[in-house]
Amino acid sequence: MTADATAAPAARSRVMCDLDLDAPGRHEGYLRVPFSRDDAGWGTVEIPIVVVNGTPDGPRAMFTGGVHGDEYEGQIAVSRLARELRDPQSIRGRLILMPMVDLPAALAGRRLCPLDERDLNRQFPGDARGTFTQVLAHYIDSVLLPRTDVLVEVHSGGHGMEAALSTNMHWVDDAGQRARQMALAAAFGAPYNVVFWGVDEGATLPSAAERRGILAIGTELGGWGRVNIEGVRIAERGLRNVMKHLGMIDGAPDTTQRDGSPGTRQMGVQGSAGYVFGPADGLFEPKHLAGQPVRAGELAGIVHFPEDWARSPIELRYRATGVLWMAMGPGRCRKGDTLAVVMEDYRP
Ligand SMILES: [Zn+2]
């Protein structure tokens, strides 16, 4: 066989999907992303997808888990929801569920896809003629996002970070869209919502969604490479809360927190002052856990050089006052790594 996919028009997806995404009812199956191997030239990687098209008068939402393979709460919550939503007549609108988006990364328990060593959440809008993750990103951007009004992307901190249990959203310039995204996050009901712009957001899935006018929120529900018990609970409740907020199912969102407080604390990371970056390659000793209150000027941690005993450790101090949102785990750091991120109370 000599068929050459690179001869296809650049804009045409190479992903096969034999589901009719727009037909009424429940559809379950796979996106088949081509991946040629020595022993399987026509090999594909099967990415699970469930589409529930309920009554046509409702909104269209997409929930994702496993965009990063070493973040587990979303994989559990979205796959459980996919099993539970059997009756399409039980929802108004459309729900697209992808519990394990970067399947090769998830099976390997890794952030990056082992097939091409790329971070799916840095590949958007993707490339139909690119590598595995670029082809997958292109399909999501060009086929699934146009069928979506609301995106909820369930992440956690992976191996590298631990996060205070939170939703997050970008600081979008359109004040109306920002207000609707904050309301969506408040309905999800995590302890915190963070309005921010990260170190590299333009190529992420939420950014691709925002470019299409889609309301998009993400989450950070644990980290350090294990399943966060409370993170799973917040994720499962949050996805149902979002469906209630959008009118897809009946009922009001339950946003009561463990400490009895009534809802989500709106926070922000504005500018770079919230970030603590690694000043050198070394061994980072943190001083706080995610979720703890911290002050500007307070000791954030110490970078040690045990391999060079005469070299003085470097003390790092916070430059913002608030709550520690993201915390790197104790361990080796490199110069330029984000070691801690402080969120402050939201200021419009
Ligand atoms: Zn992630």
Give distance in angstroms: CA of 312 to centre of ligand 1.
Answer: 34
| Helix or strand (DSSP H, E) at 6 | none
What is the mean predicted confidence (pLDDT) over 200-226? Answer: 93
pLDDT of residue 298: 98
Reduced DSSP (H G I as helix, E B as strand, rest coil) percent helix, strand, coil of the chain, to 5: 25, 30, 45
Give distance in angstroms: CA of 232 to centre of ligand 1.
Answer: 15
Half-sphere exposure of 44 (CA within 13 A, CB side): 13
Split at pLDDT 50, 70, 90, the class of 271 is confident
Give distance in angstroms: CA of 9 to centre of ligand 1.
Answer: 31
pLDDT of residue 111: 97
Give distance in angstroms: CA of 220 to centre of ligand 1.
Answer: 8
Asked whether residue 6 carries a pLDDT value surpassing 80, the answer given is no
What percent of the chain is predicted at pLDDT more than 70?
97
Give distance in angstroms: CA of 307 to centre of ligand 1.
Answer: 32
Split at pLDDT 50, 70, 90, the class of 7 is very low
pLDDT of residue 1: 43
Asked whether residue 216 carries a pLDDT value surpassing 60, the answer given is yes
Instruction: Report the C-alpha gap between 105 and 332 in whole angstroms.
Output: 23
Give distance in angstroms: CA of 50 to centre of ligand 1.
Answer: 21
Give distance in angstroms: CA of 159 to centre of ligand 1.
Answer: 10
Cβ partners under 8 Å of residue 43, min gap 6: 34, 35, 36, 37
What is the mean predicted confidence (pLDDT) over 62-70? Answer: 98
Helices (H) and strands (E) in the chain, counts: 6, 18
Three-state SS for 186-225 is HHHCCCEEEEECCCCCCCCHHHHHHHCCCEEEEEECCECC
Asked whether residue 106 carries a pLDDT value surpassing 50, the answer given is yes
Give distance in angstroms: CA of 217 to centre of ligand 1.
Answer: 12
Instruction: Report the C-alpha gap between 346 and 87 in whole angstroms.
Output: 40
Give distance in angstroms: CA of 255 to centre of ligand 1.
Answer: 23
What is the mean predicted confidence (pLDDT) over 100-112? Answer: 98
Arithmetic mean of pLDDT over the chain: 95
Give distance in angstroms: CA of 154 to centre of ligand 1.
Answer: 8
pLDDT of residue 8: 47
pLDDT of residue 200: 76
Phi, psi of 125 (to 5 degrees): -85, 10
Contact (Cβ atoms closer than 8 angstroms) between residue 105 and residue 114: yes
Give distance in angstroms: CA of 139 to centre of ligand 1.
Answer: 19
Give distance in angstroms: CA of 84 to centre of ligand 1.
Answer: 25
Asked whether residue 3 carries a pLDDT value surpassing 80, the answer given is no
Give distance in angstroms: CA of 222 to centre of ligand 1.
Answer: 10
Give distance in angstroms: CA of 168 to centre of ligand 1.
Answer: 12
pLDDT of residue 10: 55
Give distance in angstroms: CA of 164 to centre of ligand 1.
Answer: 14
Give distance in angstroms: CA of 77 to centre of ligand 1.
Answer: 15
pLDDT of residue 202: 86
Give distance in angstroms: CA of 111 to centre of ligand 1.
Answer: 7
pLDDT digits (tens, 9 = 90+) for 171-190: 888 899 999 999 999 999 99
Give distance in angstroms: CA of 80 to centre of ligand 1.
Answer: 19
Q: Residue 77: name the closest of 293, 202, 195, 229 by CA.
A: 229
Give distance in angstroms: CA of 68 to centre of ligand 1.
Answer: 5
Give distance in angstroms: CA of 157 to centre of ligand 1.
Answer: 6
Give distance in angstroms: CA of 166 to centre of ligand 1.
Answer: 13
pTM of the model as a whole: 0.95
- DSSP state, residue 72: -
Give distance in angstroms: CA of 144 to centre of ligand 1.
Answer: 19
